[in-house]
Structure 1
Amino acid sequence: MAERKLHLGGRMRRLRRELGLNQAAMAAEIGISPSYLNHIERNQRPVTATVLLRLAEAYDVDLKSFAAEGGDAVGPAQLGEIFADPLFSDLAVPRYELVEIADNAPAAAEGIARLYAALGELRQRPAGESEENAALSPTKWVRDYIQSQRNHFPAIEEAAETLAGALGDPLAIAETLRRRLREAFGIDVRVVAPELIEGASQHYDIHRKRLLLSQLLRSESRTFALAYQLVLVEFRALLDRMVVSAAPPDAPTRRLLHMSLANYAAAAAMMPYQSFLEAAERHRYDLDRLCAEFGVSAEQAAHRLTTLNRAGARGVPFFMLRVDAAGNVSKRFAGESFPFSRFGGTCPRWNLHSAFQTPGRVVTQVVETPDGERYFTIGRTVSRAIRLDPAEDSQLAIGLGCDVRHAARIAYADGLDLAHPRVTPIGPACALCPRAGCPQRATAPVGRTLAVSELRKSVSPFPFV
């Protein structure tokens, strides 16, 4: 079988523009002629293995992500999800056209995705509600922006490592954070009954310069709250510059992005990059060992693992999801490309949801996506940072995963035959999944012709052509 030629013109052009180079400068740096680079960018020549290796050497490019369909941008899978909508059912857009759009016009592909996301926001609005500011929601805008940066912010990492060096031992960091807030910024910290802050987990009284923390917060969450407040004042200028540079579309989005970057900085101060990476490699990504060494929660450690994308010092490129028992996705981050459903939920065959049946225990699985890519995944339950009503379930489930080629570096994969693993085929949300005959399909596939017959029943309630 002939190897697929890699026509990556759009990605080459985008990389060059991100680096601020013209064609002549990039061509000189990777040792090819400007005319050859021009042909590559116009998809008149495929990208050879030699050129890919030179890109990796010159710009520290992750080759798998760069050469993968879609990479960290909107790819054919995401476009296919959009064009599967009944709104476009009469168009029957073939996959090769989606590949051409993603490869040759990545900015246009991103524009299509943003318009479709805005359409989804409009569909969810109550009838008669004003359509003013009905574009992409702040949550989705911020999520997409963070993912466009591959969930890694070098400027924050550098500042946080300097701060962490001044704070000292991570297991004794809480008192150091409290003292720095008081001595450097005049901020007093008090732990109070939740009723005094109306059920919030924390509240900063800007007039009295008091940080009030709920008594219901666990110790690692209190430490995070202290770190969050400190970086808000310590890194104010840096965070403001980053928000301005990102150019959010409106005030609510600006505020949410600012808070998200501050959360990132707080985690980076509690788990400074180099020492956390070294510990992760030393403990082979065992979450419990990382929690013990840095005094953090399993969710905090898992989230931090998705950010280890520093040039020249990368960790295992994990992706992460957090879901509740009903399947709602409340977090979605990736250090490497993974075919998340951009507008839907998760596959029921992924055992992330089974973690609720064994609270506190780690469940593992090797999954295979419809394009044949395999991922090693880890699922476990975590508790919410705060629970106001003791009768309510506080459990969430987090899923971590990476390309199966990295699994040997992870303690949870010990004992698995990684050369011949038991593989579970999964897909995107059921309405978009191309897998026929799935016994757990919950809805008919969009854009497919059902093949229901009174003479025959399949294991799937929605057989299709």
Structure 2
Amino acid sequence: MGNRRRLFAGEKLRKIREDRGLRQAEMAKRLAISSSYLSQLEHDDRPLTAQLAERLASLFPIDWQDIAVDDTEQLTVALREALGDPIFNEPFSPEALVRLAEQQPVFAKRFVELHELYRRSTQQLEMADDAISADNASGSPLPWEEVRDWFHLSNNYVDLLDRLAENLALSMSDEQGHLTGAALRVHLAEKHRITVIFERSNQLRQFDEAERILRIDAGQPPTGIRFQLAYHVAVMSLGETIAQIAEYAELKSAAARELLKVGLANYAAGAVLMPYEHFRQSARRERHDVDRLALLYRTSFEQACHRLSSLQRESSRGLPVFFCRVDMAGNITKRHSATRLQFARFGGACPLWIVHEAVAIPDRVLVQFAETPDGVRYVFMAKGLVKPSGGFDRSPRRYAVALGCEIQHASEFIYADSINLNSDNAAARIGVSCRICPRTDCDQRAYPPSDQQIEVDLFDRGIVPYSMRRVD
């Protein structure tokens, strides 16, 4: 313990305070220290103690991770995240976490690893349970479900591929860090001898390998065309890495592995258009305003949302968000959660969730403050989108995307600005799906939860035509 690096972080501490418009007295009160002590810390006259560093990490987790910390501080942060799981009734104090990380580092590391194994095992059991409940008695997922689950269990982040895509983007960008469609075409021409042709087609993208010609449907929006270019750049430049990742993935079928290659290429295309660290810093600066980020990086609203959900690089994480895409029928066609909220894989999502309303109201951002049955509160943003088909004879695709975070990160999430987060009555009481929601008093319930027995009375009737009691 005597060899721990003394941490001076005055400039960063002052920036955290100023970004939130706090006076020194207000910041000192949050940290439970005196104003004079805070002033000394901000002027680097005194180093941060381990206990104070943990308190800062707890209060300002996104800001704090950008400060270089030693192994003990990193372990303390990992412990705090693991012990924040709702399965633990009482939170540990910052001092207790620091003592555990300092005095029992081996045990602390094993505990963090064990909790990660528990979390993954729980998710896998939920997936199997969902499959059985969806009349898939074998419990074997379909190929596209396998791929979706693979990304989910990978935290929607593929480190090697993301870093390679980031370097690839930097090699094609100008001095200001801008990546143009012309630069993507030049890369394909000079590095891979591929000519790009834009023409009207029913195919979004077609590649003639013999002629070295890439044909892209000109009827797509500009953001779609850029994505198709980035996709082919990723496949041609990072194809070997993509193939290796898919080969070593534990998937049950060849079809799933081929689908994973496509998913990885899509992932790499997004990482090329929105390079990790550049995009993460922009997201912080813009407070995760998706419209603004889409404008800055010339991507679609959905692409920017999806990229925000993949910012899971160790020691450089983005805002922990959940992301999903829901179609007109309520099917969740994309999903990822870096929060405690998990999604039902089969069946309808909670009808009280704002995303369903967003599907019917395209191009308008809707915001919701909600609480799940475990007591965790979230800020949701949802937007209905219409993907044009390019012709009257083909129906456009309509769906909605949703993005959200837990309320402790609300200051980082611009969509929380219009919500009164201190009101107990303002939070909508939502669940994951009716099948597993324990709320028996919900007026919107479609069917009873799987662990409840229904009781029907011919003469009494509530909002739903039965009462419920838990099966022991």
CA distance in 2, matches of 1:172, 1:431: 46
Aligned counterpart in structure 2 of residue 436 of structure 1, from 437, 440, 449: 440
- 2:365–2:382: 8 Å Cα contact kept in structure 1? yes
CA distance in 2, matches of 1:435, 1:122: 24
In structure 1, the partner of 2:269 is: 266
In structure 2, the partner of 1:152 is: 157
SS at match of 1:401: strand
- 2:354–2:366: 8 Å Cα contact kept in structure 1? yes
- 1:321–1:332: 8 Å Cα contact kept in structure 2? yes
Relative distance call for 1:138 and 1:65 in structure 2 (3 A) is farther
Relative distance call for 1:388 and 1:62 in structure 2 (3 A) is farther
Aligned counterpart in structure 2 of residue 180 of structure 1, from 168, 171, 187: 187
In structure 2, the partner of 1:251 is: 254
Structure 1 letter corresponding to 2:297? F
Relative distance call for 1:354 and 1:171 in structure 2 (3 A) is farther
Give 1:341-420 correspondences, 5 Å limit: 341-384=344-387, 386=389, 389=392, 392-420=395-423
In structure 2, the partner of 1:142 is: 147
Residues 261-284 of structure 1 show CA distances to partners (whole Å, capped at 9, x for unaligned) of: 111111011000111111111111
- 2:457–2:466: 8 Å Cα contact kept in structure 1? no
Structure 2 letter corresponding to 1:401? G
Relative distance call for 1:313 and 1:256 in structure 2 (3 A) is same
Structure 1: 5+ residue runs without aligned partners? Answer: 1-52, 72-100, 125-130
Aligned residues: 372
In structure 2, the partner of 1:215 is: 218
Shift of 1:443: 2.0
CA distance in 2, matches of 1:442, 1:184: 56
- 1:60–1:311: 8 Å Cα contact kept in structure 2? no
Structure 1 letter corresponding to 2:78? V
Relative distance call for 1:187 and 1:110 in structure 2 (3 A) is same
Give 1:163-312 correspondences, 5 Å limit: 163-169=168-174, 172-194=179-201, 199-312=202-315
CA distance in 1, matches of 2:120, 2:298: 42
- 2:379–2:415: 8 Å Cα contact kept in structure 1? no
Structure 1 letter corresponding to 2:432? P
Shift of 1:181: 0.5
CA distance in 2, matches of 1:305, 1:239: 21
- 2:168–2:272: 8 Å Cα contact kept in structure 1? yes
Relative distance call for 1:251 and 1:117 in structure 2 (3 A) is farther
Structure 2 letter corresponding to 1:436? T
Relative distance call for 1:117 and 1:451 in structure 2 (3 A) is closer
Structure 1 letter corresponding to 2:406? D
Alpha-carbon RMSD: 2.9
Residues 12-31 of structure 1 show CA distances to partners (whole Å, capped at 9, x for unaligned) of: xxxxxxxxxxxxxxxxxxxx
CA distance in 2, matches of 1:342, 1:62: 29
Shift of 1:225: 0.5
**Which stretch of the first structure deviates more once superposed, 201-210 or 229-238?**
201-210
Relative distance call for 1:394 and 1:374 in structure 2 (3 A) is same
Shift of 1:188: 1.2
- 1:171–1:295: 8 Å Cα contact kept in structure 2? no
SS at match of 2:467: coil
Q: TM-score, normalised by structure 2?
A: 0.72
Q: Answer yes or no: is 1:58 the counterpart of 2:75.
A: yes
In structure 2, the partner of 1:451 is: 455
Q: TM-score, normalised by structure 1?
A: 0.73
Shift of 1:342: 3.4
**Which stretch of the first structure deviates more once superposed, 105-114 or 334-343?**
105-114
- 2:367–2:382: 8 Å Cα contact kept in structure 1? yes
SS at match of 1:418: coil
**Which stretch of the first structure deviates more once superposed, 168-177 or 409-418?**
168-177
Relative distance call for 1:309 and 1:114 in structure 2 (3 A) is closer
SS at match of 2:291: helix
SS at match of 2:146: helix
- 1:323–1:398: 8 Å Cα contact kept in structure 2? yes
In structure 2, the partner of 1:425 is: 429
Q: Answer yes or no: is 1:460 the counterpart of 2:456.
A: no
- 2:379–2:406: 8 Å Cα contact kept in structure 1? yes
Aligned counterpart in structure 2 of residue 337 of structure 1, from 329, 337, 340: 340
CA distance in 1, matches of 2:299, 2:396: 22
Shift of 1:424: 0.6
Shift of 1:344: 3.0
Shift of 1:59: 8.7
In structure 1, the partner of 2:85 is: 68
Shift of 1:419: 2.5
CA distance in 2, matches of 1:411, 1:461: 41
Residues 218-237 of structure 1 show CA distances to partners (whole Å, capped at 9, x for unaligned) of: 11111110110111110122
CA distance in 2, matches of 1:231, 1:245: 19
CA distance in 2, matches of 1:432, 1:442: 12
SS at match of 1:444: coil
CA distance in 2, matches of 1:108, 1:275: 34
CA distance in 2, matches of 1:238, 1:213: 24
CA distance in 1, matches of 2:135, 2:355: 30
Shift of 1:332: 0.7
